[in-house]
Chains A and B, each alone.
Chain A
C-alpha cells in the first residue's frame, strides 16, 4: 500500500529529478515537433564554455558567501536582543518578522523603486552626509547591483532566521544561565559557554537551510535586474529558468539544473562534514 504522502513525493520530487537527469543528455525542446535525441554530453560541453554560466556560478557563490554569514549573524544578534526579558520584545519580534510575510516579488518591486537614482536610498544617503554623497544608480552599476540585492535579501530573510534562532535560544534551560552566573560568568562568557554550545543543532539547521535558499536566488533577480547589468547578477537558477522557458531549451536547462544539483549537494556535504558532532 502506497501512502498519499509517498505518492506525492514520488510525483513531484522524484519524477522531476529523474526527468531532469534524463533530459540533460538530450536536445529536448519545450515546443518542438521533433522528438528529443540523445546527444550525450553536448549540453555540458556547451555549458562549460558558456561565459554566462560561469558568471552565474560566480555570482551565486558570491551571494551565498556574503549572505549566509551576514544573515545568520545578524539574525542571531536580533534573536538575543528580542529574547531579553524586557518590555516590548513582542513588538520588535513582529516588526523584524514583517518582511518575511511579504511576498518577495512585492519586496523586490518596492526596493527597485528605492534603489532608483532619485530613490529613497540615495536621497537618504545624501541627507545624512549633508550632500557629500553622490547618488549611485545601484541596480545599473555592475559593481553595486549584487550588493544591493544582497542587502535587500538579508533584510527580507533575517526575520525568519531570527525566529529559528529564537526557538533555539528558548530550548536552553534557564538553570544553566543561573548556574553560570553564580560561577561569576559575565554576559560574554555566558554567551560563549552556554548559549553558543546550546545552539549547535539550530546552527546546523540554519546553516544548511539558508545556504540552500541563497543558492537558489531567483525572484529578486527576475524582478529587479534580469541578470544584468552585464551579467553581474545572473545566477544559476535564473539562467536555468531563462534557458528553459524563454529560450525553450528544455535539455539545456536540465543540464544547468543538474549542475546546480551537484553544486548544492557538494556544498551541503561539506557543511555536514564541517559541522559534524565531534566525538
Chain B
C-alpha cells in the first residue's frame, strides 16, 4: 500500500501533462512477429545539433540488425527530468534514458537505472568525468564533457602587466588577486572579473564548488558521504566564503552579473571571464587575441567540475539485452567524433579527440581536454547530491549577498546532515 501511495503521490506532484505523454510511449513493445521496440528518451529536444547525432546513431543501429528497433522520444530539457520521474512513478520508463551526470547516483539509488553491464575495457581511454560510476560500477557514459576556464585577452593581460598562466603553472591565489587588482586599476572595465554570478540553479554548484574544493573544502565528506561537517564548514570552506564575498567587496566582481556573462565580456564590460568552454567560440570570434586560462590554484591546485549528460540503461527494461547491444554499438569513436563536432564540447575519449583537429594534440582546444583530465572533480557521487546542490546554491547566494559565512555554512551543513540522516544515510 505504501509503495502504491508513493507512486500516486509522486505522479500527482509531477507534471500531469508529461505523465500523460509518458503513458503514451510505453517502455517496450516486444512483438513476436517483428523486431522488438526499444524506446529511448533524450533531453535534447530543441537542440537540433545534438538531436541529429542521436537520431543518426539510432538509424545506424536500426539498419545494422533486424532484431531491435530503437525509437527516439525527445523532450525539451526543462521538462525532461519531470518526465522521467513521472514515468518511473507509473512504471513506464523507457529502456534507455539520458541523465545529467550529477543525477546518476540519485537515479541509481532510486532504481531508475541499472548497471550498464558492458565490459570494463569498453571505457578505456575515456575521461573519468564522463562516466557515471556508482560503487565502482558504470551506470552511464557520456559523449562529451565541459571544462571551466577563464578567458581574457592578451592585450588586457599585457596592459595590466600580469603573466599568462599555463596548465603547468596556473596563477596562485595571490597572483590571481594581484591580476584582479591590476586589471581593476586599468579602469577600463565595469568589473575586473565576471564569474557569471547572475546565473542560478545548478550553475552555482557546478561553477563555484570547484573553487571551494581548490581551497581544500568540499560539498560533503567524501569518505562515506554521511556528513558535510568539516568539509563545508571547516576553516578552508570559511576561507573560500570570505574570499568569494571579498571579490564583491573589493569591487572586482558584481554580486549579480548580467544575463549573459560571455556577451558582457565580449562587449568589454569585464576584463576576465570565468565560465564553461561553451563560451569558446563566442570569445574567439570576438577577439583575435583571446586567451584561455586555467582557473587559479587557490590552495590545493586548480579544480573544475565534470560530468555532463550521459546515457544509461533504465531499470525494468524488457529488452535489456537489446538496449545493451545499442549502448555498446553507440560507444564507438565515430559517434564520439560526431558528438564532438556537433556540440563543440570536449570529446569524452582520447581516440575521438585525436580525430577532431581542435582537440587533437596541439589543437587550439586541447587545453580543455587537458584540464578535464587533470583538474576535474566530479560532483559528489551520492544520491544526496540534488539536495546538497540545492543547499549549496542557497548558501553561495547568501554568501555573495553578504551574509555571515559561518552561520550560513553551519546551517547548510546541518540541513545536509539532517537530510542524509532522514534518508537512512542513502545506503539502500
Listed in ascending order, the chain A residues whose CB lies under 8 Å from chain B are: 15-16, 19, 22-23, 27-37, 46, 51, 113, 116, 137, 139-140, 142, 226-231, 242, 244, 246-250
CA distance A228 to B423 in the complex (A): 28
Interchain CB contact under 8 A, B9 and A140: no
Interchain CB contact under 8 A, A36 and B109: no
Interchain CB contact under 8 A, B258 and A229: no
Q: A247 and B397 in contact (CB under 8 A), knowing A36-B2, A116-B258?
A: no
16 contacts between A and B (CB under 8 A): A27-B422, A29-B423, A30-B13, A30-B85, A31-B386, A33-B428, A35-B2, A140-B255, A226-B200, A227-B394, A228-B394, A228-B397, A229-B397, A231-B398, A242-B390, A247-B386
Q: Find the B residue at minimum CB distance from A227.
A: B394
Interchain CB contact under 8 A, A31 and B2: no
| Chain A residues, Cβ within 8 Å of B2 | 35-37
CA distance A29 to B387 in the complex (A): 11
| Chain B residues, Cβ within 8 Å of A226 | 200, 397
| Chain B residues, Cβ within 8 Å of A244 | 13
Q: A247 and B398 in contact (CB under 8 A), knowing A33-B111, A36-B2, A139-B256?
A: no
Interchain CB contact under 8 A, A28 and B387: no
Which of B10, B85, B200, B398 is in CB contact (< 8 Å) with A230? B398
Q: How far is the CB of B225 from chain A (nearest CB, A)?
A: 16
B311 within 8 A of A: no
Main SS class of interface, A? loop
CA distance A229 to B394 in the complex (A): 10
Listed in ascending order, the chain B residues whose CB lies under 8 Å from chain A are: 2-3, 5-6, 8-10, 12-13, 85, 88, 106-107, 109-112, 200, 255-256, 258-259, 386-387, 390-391, 394, 397-398, 401-403, 411, 418-419, 422-424, 428
Interchain CB contact under 8 A, A31 and B106: yes
CA distance A247 to B420 in the complex (A): 12
Interchain CB contact under 8 A, A140 and B110: no
Interchain CB contact under 8 A, A36 and B5: yes
Q: Find the A residue at minimum CB distance from B84.
A: A31
Q: How far is the CB of B3 from chain A (nearest CB, A)?
A: 5
Which of B6, B107, B402 is in CB contact (< 8 Å) with A35? B6
Interchain CB contact under 8 A, B401 and A250: no
| Chain A residues, Cβ within 8 Å of B386 | 31, 246-248
CA distance A82 to B204 in the complex (A): 48
Q: How far is the CB of A9 from chain B (nearest CB, A)?
A: 15
Q: How far is the CB of B388 from chain A (nearest CB, A)?
A: 10
| Chain A residues, Cβ within 8 Å of B3 | 35
CA distance A46 to B415 in the complex (A): 11
| Chain A residues, Cβ within 8 Å of B256 | 137, 139-140
Q: How far is the CB of A189 from chain B (nearest CB, A)?
A: 51
| Chain A residues, Cβ within 8 Å of B10 | 30-31, 250
| Chain A residues, Cβ within 8 Å of B401 | 140, 142, 228-230
| Chain B residues, Cβ within 8 Å of A23 | 9
A27, A30, A116, most chain B CB atoms within 10 A: A30
Additional A-B contact list (6), CB under 8 Å, known A27-B422, A246-B386: A29-B423, A31-B386, A35-B6, A140-B255, A227-B394, A250-B9
